[in-house]
Amino acid sequence: MGVVTCIEDLRHLARRRLPRMFYDYVDTGSWTESTYRANRHDLAALRLRQRVLVDIQHRNLRSAMLGEPVTMPVALAPTGLTGMLHADGEILAAQAAEAFGVPFTLSTMSICSIEDVASHTGRPFWFQLYMLRDRDFMARLIERARAARCSALVLTVDLQIMGQRHKDLKNGLSAPPRPTLANWLNLATRPAWCWRMLNTRRRSFGNIVGHAAGVTDTASLAAWNARQFDPTLSWQDVAWVKQRWQGRLVLKGIMDVADARLAAAAGVDALIVSNHGGRQLDGAPSSISVLADIVDAVGHQVEVHMDGGITSGQDVLKALATGARGVYIGRAFLYGLAARGRQGVLDSLAIIHKELDTTMALCGITDVAALDRSVLLRQGRLPAAAGPGPA
């Protein structure tokens, strides 16, 4: 492929360079994938107001998320197994985010550990926490995030049980992966990926192996991981995390106004409207379709962020105009990472930044803080009536 001009170009490159099981892991949803598709469809359905004869010479995309200055209000979402898409993937993605001036969020289920990422970056990053049954391990993990100078904790609340992802099951993708014969054969067609993975020591779950009690290798990790999903997770656990963390706390996975109000009452600093990229409850609405109601309900109390289906700067603009104070990209930067490593992540951010800037200009907007619902043409219930945008 020649010149890369959009995230779709990076996706095609990633598909050619990744082993099938890891490409399918990124580019999949649960069950029938209806929610996965809805995230993209509902963003695409929103139409923009084109304005002309407006002085758009000087434009500003700089903003803040959780009080931290950002080049644009976009963060890299927490994504598990990132270090299997490219050797040392989390370190490379964090370095790219730091260079570009946007937040990076490290997943509990990362390949590179918190300490690894901290030792290879200069800017504090955010850490995403899954609440598991082993509360002693949870407490130590929170302390490790604090020791690594993480500036925010992102607690994911929509994974009490795992949504069924058919492609992952067929590929034998688990923690740790158990690839099928077909996938072993497919690995032979990806020599560059294999070479990079052979030349790194980071091939397991760095936050868990050697840290959780009794987990010393991949075999013991599989047994430990199978016991860790906690269906008893409740708002009391949010209070437990908040008391131990004593820093900025974000809840990821809010899709309902009632839950958003409970999150605000719990005293969190921000919430992320997210359906886990369509990877949990298939048949749930798209993130963008519920964003306006949640912003209207609690946007004056907490920062409301959003993820789900964001693959362009226009998508970012639509989410910000609907009321989000920040937007997260997952697959978009993962495609770049798989295609070109650190440079690919920078490419994905540059693409989104340029598209956001250009779209703002054509809508007659010169400052990202001025985006509100007046930029969007109403179609059905998407979005709701004009209301407050990002402050």
Inter-residue contact 369 to 63 (CB < 8 Å): yes
Inter-residue contact 268 to 302 (CB < 8 Å): yes
Query: Is-catalytic flag, 276?
Result: yes
Residues in CB range of 255: below 8 A, 6 or more apart:
158, 273, 274, 275, 284, 285, 287, 290
Instruction: Give the CA angle between residues 166, 23, 167 to the nearest 5°.
Output: 10
> How many CA within 13 A on the CB side of residue 87?
11
CA R_g for the chain: 20
Instruction: Give the CA angle between residues 203, 122, 311 to the nearest 5°.
Output: 65
Task: Give CA–CA dist 132/222, Å, rounded.
Answer: 14
Structure tokens at 347: 């490419």
Catalytic residue, candidates 276, 300, 305, 353: 276
Task: Give CA–CA dist 111/129, Å, rounded.
Answer: 14
Using the structure block, give the residue that is written with the tokens 């002693």.
136
Inter-residue contact 135 to 232 (CB < 8 Å): no
Task: Give CA–CA dist 280/351, Å, rounded.
Answer: 28
* CB under 8 A, 24+ apart: contacts of 51-57: 51/362, 51/363, 51/364, 52/364, 54/364, 54/366, 55/366, 56/360, 56/361, 56/364, 56/365, 56/366
Structure tokens at 34: 């209806």
Q: For 25-47, give the DSSP string.
A: HHS--STT-HHHHHHHHHHHH-E
Distance of CA 375 to CAs 40, 327, 366, 371, Å?
Answer: 19, 17, 12, 7
Residues acting as catalytic residues: 276
